[in-house]
Structure 1
């Protein structure tokens, strides 16, 4: 899956947009554009996806699936469905070749009601005795290479709980300044179980296991909890009668009145704000021939580059809208301080960034349901 979308390296585009801005397809984070999205929806991770593939497209794989559904997730240890590459229940997906980069990934074929895993170059039914079961001892990860040992990190102690975060300084040519970023995901609050309603100072930990929160992966938050808004804002749009809360677009006096550079504190400590879209672009600025996520990722994840910028992006996974944890070591999701209204579903959805092992994208369509649990990165105010 590493190279299914090429990152255009020639330009980083910014188009100012208001609360209603988003795009209708997954965009590389370095190509931010905007359009009205009130008429276009995104259903998130489909629990039972169907396909419009032609019958002779049997060679389709999870790469193609991800290409066609920006908010679907499929990967190692994931039970989420992807768009079905089989056009007829009369034709089995079993034995279809898969690519080397898809080894260990899974897809669910709804017509067959069978989940397949890519193993030794072929898609094999998960029920097959030839599928090697993952040892429970692999649940936890060696975090010794989370950060780049050759770089000099700063430190910030959150006065609310004395948690110490590593920080990294990166230049932003729009702000024309060097900004200080958390080099790890926020981990603030008391753990509650996934699916329970979050309130002030609560968090989810992957698999309801505090090990993930305390060992580099950080916490997962609903959109409203991340924004420090009332929980009703997970179902209502900012500025509505139900959720009168709004982000202050004028607070950033350097790049005012744009959602790209809105400074919204949310659940971040005093003096810090939730990383916005413009700052995600700044984080990958000057990355040369490598794609965004490879350039930002901790060596734990991609093993291709040794975390050259020190940003230490980790695939912390998510709690999806069905209340299931998935995508650890496969994808990273981070909330952005924006939302939009999807007329087709009648839902308010949150904007987000999504990183795979090969690239980095902003949220697509109308974003993702706000009750999902995603990560948060904080940036020092300027």
Structure 2
């Protein structure tokens, strides 16, 4: 059950220790490769391996029966930042800062030191330009649990049955919950918990939180290590706000095969902001990285990972992943370990 991920990590930027204000078609298990011109290493997170997408002319999946495994971490030693929780109107607690904050002190300045006042990240930088997707496509929604505002967009495309369908989906990753350190599991079943890359809430503000499968699903934490398939509902809400549900593989297909994205494919999902994409869909995917099974933070600005609300087995769930360089589609049968921490997107209920 081991997934193999080839990783050569570049140094990640950021203001570690700075606290944000309160706030396609392949089958088999997935793995990925992140290339380097000088070296590559292998991190154990899967049972197959994808060839280094900077070194290959195509991105076909090849099986590997055995490999020399070396664990690599991009995490640096940082001072844990506070989660800055706000009161919640639900039975779950949450925290985080607003992406389209209406605070009068908000501006798009860069933090110069840990003593500087943190300015919330302006998520409009990651959105598609009007000239590419059409004017007034983006709307905003405020999550009443913590007052955070999200951009969302309505997209029409073809689903898994090649039926033309329309969905309304968040154009940024969810950021809700109290922060827990990457070394810990999200096992408080009485609160929503999140990881922030490098244990720094400013990364949550910019890229969204990272969540284990059971946390995303809002199921008991035991569901990370045992099957809970009987608890999965149609239009499963999970940690999404009321009136929203978790993003599914069928939703991915609608976005991937959306109107106006025929030329760019997967690159049309990626934001041009640090993620080398065309964003012709308006989906604005960012490289939020992930929290690995080894409890380390990896691949910021290089990969986007998210769980689907479906199980593969007791300790595994199906996932989507898109790299900064690989323009191939994802598979409905790709999977990962439930205890990893991945991004979350939500779709509006009709």
TM-score category of the 2 structures, normalised to the smaller one: 0.5 to 0.7
Question: Where do 1:227-238 residues align within 5 Å?
Answer: 227-238=217-228
Query: How many residues of Structure 1 are paired with residues of Structure 2 in the alignment?
Result: 249
* Aligned-partner Cα distance in 2 for 1:282–1:337: 17
Deviations 1:44-75 (A, max 9, x none): 5489xxxxxxxxxxxxxxxxxxxx98324435
What is aligned with 2:296? 324
Residues 215-226 of structure 1 correspond to what in structure 2 (within 5 A)? Answer: 215=206, 217-226=207-216
Once residues 246 and 305 of structure 2 are traced to their aligned partners in structure 1, the CA distance between those partners, rounded to angstroms, is 13
Q: Report if aligned partners of 1:168, 1:180 keep a CA contact under 8 Å in 2.
A: yes
| Structure 2 gaps, min length 5 | 8-27, 44-53, 58-66, 73-111, 113-120
Looking at structure 2, the residues matched to 80 and 232 of structure 1 have their Cα atoms a distance apart, in angstroms, of 35
2:147 is aligned to 162
Give distance in 1, aligned partners of 2:40 and 2:181: 20
Which residue number in structure 2 is paired with residue 362 of structure 1?
331
Distance between the aligned counterparts of 2:298 and 2:178, measured in 1?
21
Shift of 1:196: 1.4
Rg comparison, structure with higher value? 1
Tell me the equivalent position of 2:282.
Answer: 310
Matched, 1:201 2:201: no
1:311-348 C-alpha deviation (Å, 9 max, x unpaired): 1000110001000100111110011000122xxxxx52
Residue aligning to 1:149: 129
1:288 and 2:278 aligned:
no
Residue 309 (structure 1) shift:
1.9
**Alpha-carbon distance between aligned partners in 1 of 2:2 and 2:269, rounded to the nearest angstrom:** 27
TM-score under structure 2 length normalisation: 0.63
The alignment partner of 2:152 has SS state of strand
Q: Which residue of 2 aligns with 1:107?
A: none
C-alpha contact 1:72 1:81 (8 A) present in aligned 2? no
Q: Which residue of 2 aligns with 1:349?
A: 316
Q: Does 1:279 align with 2:251?
A: yes
The offset of 1:368, in angstroms, is: 0.9
* Cα separation, 1, equivalents of 2:177 and 2:2: 30
1:75-90 → structure 2 map (5 Å cutoff): 75=35, 81-82=41-42
Root-mean-square deviation (Å):
3.4
**Residue number in structure 1 paired with 2:170:** 182
Cα pair distance change 1:323/1:149, threshold 3 Å: same
User: What's the TM-score, normalizing by structure 1?
Assistant: 0.58
Unaligned runs of at least 5 residues, structure 1: 1-40, 48-67, 84-97, 102-109, 116-136, 240-244, 252-262, 342-346
